[in-house]
């Protein structure tokens, strides 16, 4: 703001004061406008910014104090100089306590007026500068925060890459050593098939890991998240049950399912909902010994739908509870009980639920079984309201 560009508004009901101020201030190369009452003054302030307002505190219509509040509302940095008669000095002091910058007692000469306005303009310049510096400081602080977040993300990404490379190396290294055993003649021909079968199993592990990694990456891919439709979660559950039945029968595990009627659909990617049920139910079957029981339920609970998968399996130790959702984490007990597993199934479940604002909780007791409870929010009623 330069002084030439400064704009001053005089709000006074006395024509003499208004015009006197206009004359005196115009010689300073300032833009000067006048208003004969509070309402007109406020209107002018709404139309364009003014740096300094000379305000008569005693005017008919809206009271000076009220006008002051309105001016501050429009632009808190406007400098207000009160014009006061001898009898209203007390009022002017009150106005200063309320945020006015200075006061001029009538009558005043043009030098006094110009000096007060010049000081007011300097005050405004300093306040605006301070405000600008605060904003710059705030922006710098935000940038610093964002930078720290990005660095953290970058670090997490590197850790994940290392972890992936490590997990992918293990099966390849195993396959290579099996093949070397044969190639270098350490294994008699009658054992070749056995060693090749072992290598093939490790290749299967590798493929499962790569598939899960791809799935996880797809779920976290923001662009694909737009592929959503209304999904009937109960129907997907029934389909998953059909798929899982042979696996359960093989281990003589009984499956029970309870679905509340009219569970509302969720707006989601169909494949994600399949994956959600599939991973939780296949884990329940996988980690439950022969002859056990797995029960699944689905219901609406207020603003969410709630799915529960309960088993009578090996359970999870309290110290492992927080870790089972981490990428690649498999408990020692799980590895001993079932060789196959990538440690990514629950990471996928968690990523899917995170996508849709869902939650998941686990309750478990070692040797007794586990209960996984998830929720998914739904946004609209099951059926549109009937037309009257
Ligand atoms: P994976 O089953 O391939 O090992 P997940 O990510 O699906 O990987 O599960 C991570 C770990 O959580 C499992 O290795 C196991 O230790 C534990 N877990 C998951 N579901 C169950 C369950 N129903 N019963 C017992 N442990 C489970």
Per residue in 233-276, pLDDT (tens digit) is 999 999 999 999 999 999 999 999 999 999 999 999 999 999 99
Tokens read off for 315: 């359970």
Same structural domain, 212 and 247 = no
Q: Which of 215, 288, 330, 335 maximizes ligand 1 atoms within 8 Å of its Cβ, making it the mutation to test the pocket?
A: 330
* Residue 109 maps to a domain: yes
In this structure, is residue 358 part of a structural domain? Answer: yes
Write down which residue in 135, 165, 200 finishes a domain: 135
Give distance in angstroms: CA of 99 to centre of ligand 1: 65
Q: Is 312 in the pocket of ligand 1 (CB under 6 A)?
A: no
Q: How remote is the CA of residue 283 from the centroid of ligand 1, in Å?
A: 6
Q: Is 38 in the pocket of ligand 1 (CB under 6 A)?
A: no
Residue 11 CA to its chain's centroid (Å): 48
Choose between 166 and 279: higher pLDDT: 279
Helix or strand (DSSP H, E) at 132? helix 110-183
Instruction: Pick the last residue of a domain from 87, 103, 135.
Output: 135
What is the pLDDT confidence band of residue 95, given thresholds at 50, 70 and 90?
confident
Does 386 map to a domain?
no
Residues 238 and 313 grouped into a single domain: yes
> What is the model's pLDDT at position 226?
66
**Total of domains in the chain:** 3
Which residues in 232-245 are b (16+ Cβ under 10 Å) and which e? ebbebbeebbeebe
* Residues 49 and 127 reside in one and the same domain: yes
For residue 348, pLDDT beyond 70 = yes
- Listed residue (81, 82, 7, 91) closest to 44, CA to CA: 7
Q: Is 209 helix (H, G, I), strand (E, B) or coil?
A: helix
Q: Which of 135, 164, 185 is the last residue of a domain?
A: 135
Residue 67 Cβ contacting ligand 1 at under 6 Å:
no
**Is the CB of residue 104 less than 8 Å from the CB of residue 81?**
yes
CATH (domain of 70): 3.40.50.2300
Closest atom of ligand 1 to 346 CA is: 6
| Residue of the CA atom closest to atom 2 of ligand 1 | 341
Residues 91 and 25 in one domain: yes
Domain CATH for 293: 3.30.565.10
* Chain length of the chain: 388
Which pLDDT does position 378 carry in this prediction? 85
262 and 176 in a common domain: no
Is 142 part of any domain? no
How much is the CA Rg of the chain, to the nearest whole Å? 38
For residue 385, name the pLDDT band (cuts at 50, 70, 90). Answer: very low
- Asked if residue 141 belongs to a domain, the reply is no
The percentage of residues in the chain with a pLDDT greater than 90, rounded to a whole number, is 77
Pair 156, 247 in one domain: no
Per-residue confidence at 379, pLDDT binned at 50, 70, 90? low
Output the CA 328–ligand 1 centroid distance in Å.
10
How do residues 116-137 score in pLDDT, each as one tens digit?
999 999 999 999 999 999 999 9
The band of 343, judged by pLDDT with boundaries at 50, 70 and 90, is: very high
Residue 323, pLDDT > 50, answer yes
Among 312, 323, 346, the mutation site with the greatest number of ligand 1 atoms within 8 A of its Cβ is: 346
CB 341 less than 6 A from any atom of ligand 1: yes
Contact of 100 with 81, CB cutoff 8 Å: yes
Listed in order, strand segments (DSSP E) in 260-387 are 266-268, 293-301, 304-311, 359-365, 369-377
Number of Cβ atoms within 10 Å of the Cβ of 141: 10
Tokens 């406020």 locate to 42
Distance CA 252, CA 238 (A): 19
Q: 334 C-alpha to center of ligand 1: Å?
A: 7
Q: Looking at the DSSP assignment, which residues form a beta bridge with residue 293?
A: 254
Residue 241 lies in a domain: yes
Residue 198: CATH number of its domain? 1.10.287.130
User: Closest Cα to residue 348, out of 163, 168, 218?
Assistant: 218
Average pLDDT, the chain: 91
Q: Is residue 294 part of a domain?
A: yes
Instruction: Specify whether 218 is located in the same domain as 236.
Output: no
Ligand 1: which residue has its CA nearest to atom 19? 283
| pLDDT over 90 (residue 319) | yes
User: 86-100, 146-160, 339-353 — which is least confidently predicted?
Assistant: 86-100
Are 40 and 105 part of one and the same domain? yes
97 plus 201 within the same structural domain: no
**Are both 38 and 107 inside the same structural domain?**
yes
Nearest to 255 by CA among 232, 235, 281, 274: 281
**Position 353 pLDDT exceeds 80:** yes
Question: Domain containing 89: what range?
Answer: 3-135
Taking alpha carbons only, the member of 102, 22, 106, 9 closest to residue 58 is 106
Residue 380 pLDDT level (bands cut at 50, 70, 90): low
Give the model's confidence band at 339: pLDDT under 50 very low, under 70 low, under 90 confident, else very high: confident
Does an H or E element contain 82, and which? strand 79-84
pLDDT tens string 168-181:
998 999 999 999 99
Cβ–ligand 1 distance for 84 under 6 Å, the answer no
Check whether residue 73 and residue 31 sit in a common domain: yes
User: Is position 385 within any domain?
Assistant: no
Residue 33: strand, helix, or coil: strand
Consecutive H or E run containing 315? none
Q: What is the largest CA-CA distance in the chain?
A: 119
Cis peptide before 156 (omega within 30 of 0): no
pLDDT at 381 over 80: no
Q: Do 10 and 71 sit in the same domain of this protein? A: yes
Going from the C-alpha of 264 to that of each of 229, 300, 303, 370, 380, the distances in angstroms are: 13, 7, 10, 26, 8
Sign of the alpha-carbon dihedral angle for 286, 213, 348, 350: positive
């Amino acid at each position: 703001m330069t002084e030439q560009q400064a704009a001053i508004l005089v709000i006074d009901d006395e024509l003499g004061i208004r015009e006197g101020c206009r004359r005196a201030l115009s010689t300073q190369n300032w833009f000067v406008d006048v208003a004969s009452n509070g309402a007109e003054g406020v209107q002018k302030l709404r139309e364009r910014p003014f740096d300094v307002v000379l305000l008569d505190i005693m005017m008919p219509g809206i009271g000076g104090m009220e006008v002051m509040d309105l001016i501050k509302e429009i632009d808190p940095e406007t400098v207000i100089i009160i014009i006061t008669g001898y009898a209203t000095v007390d009022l002017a002091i009150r106005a200063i306590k309320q945020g006015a910058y200075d006061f001029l007692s009538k009558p005043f000469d043009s030098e006094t007026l110009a000096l007060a306005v010049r000081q007011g303009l300097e005050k405004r310049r300093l306040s605006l500068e301070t405000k600008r510096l605060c904003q710059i400081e705030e922006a710098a602080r935000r940038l610093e925060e964002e930078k720290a977040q990005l660095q953290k993300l970058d670090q997490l990404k590197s850790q994940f890459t290392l972890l992936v490379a490590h997990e992918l190396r293990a099966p390849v290294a195993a396959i290579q050593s099996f093949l070397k055993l044969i190639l270098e003649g350490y294994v008699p021909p009658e054992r070749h098939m056995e060693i090749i079968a072992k290598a093939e199993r490790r290749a299967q592990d590798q493929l499962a890991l790569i598939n899960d990694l791809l799935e996880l990456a797809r779920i976290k891919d923001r662009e694909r998240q737009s592929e959503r439709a209304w999904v009937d979660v109960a129907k997907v559950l029934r389909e998953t049950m059909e798929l899982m039945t042979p696996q359960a029968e093989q281990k003589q595990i009984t499956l029970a399912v309870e679905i509340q009627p009219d569970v509302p659909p969720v707006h989601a990617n169909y494949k994600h909902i399949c994956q959600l049920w599939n991973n939780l139910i296949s884990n329940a079957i996988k980690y439950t010994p022969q002859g056990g029981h797995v029960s699944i339920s689905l219901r609406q609970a207020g603003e969410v739908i709630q799915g529960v998968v309960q088993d009578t399996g090996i359970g999870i130790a309290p110290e492992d509870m927080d870790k089972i959702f981490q990428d690649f984490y498999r408990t020692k007990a799980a590895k001993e009980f079932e060789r196959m597993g990538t440690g990514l199934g629950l990471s996928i479940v968690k990523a899917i639920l995170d996508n849709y604002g869902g939650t998941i909780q686990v309750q478990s007791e070692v040797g007794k079984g586990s209960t996984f409870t998830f929720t998914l929010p739904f946004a609209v009623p099951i059926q549109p309201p009937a037309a009257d």
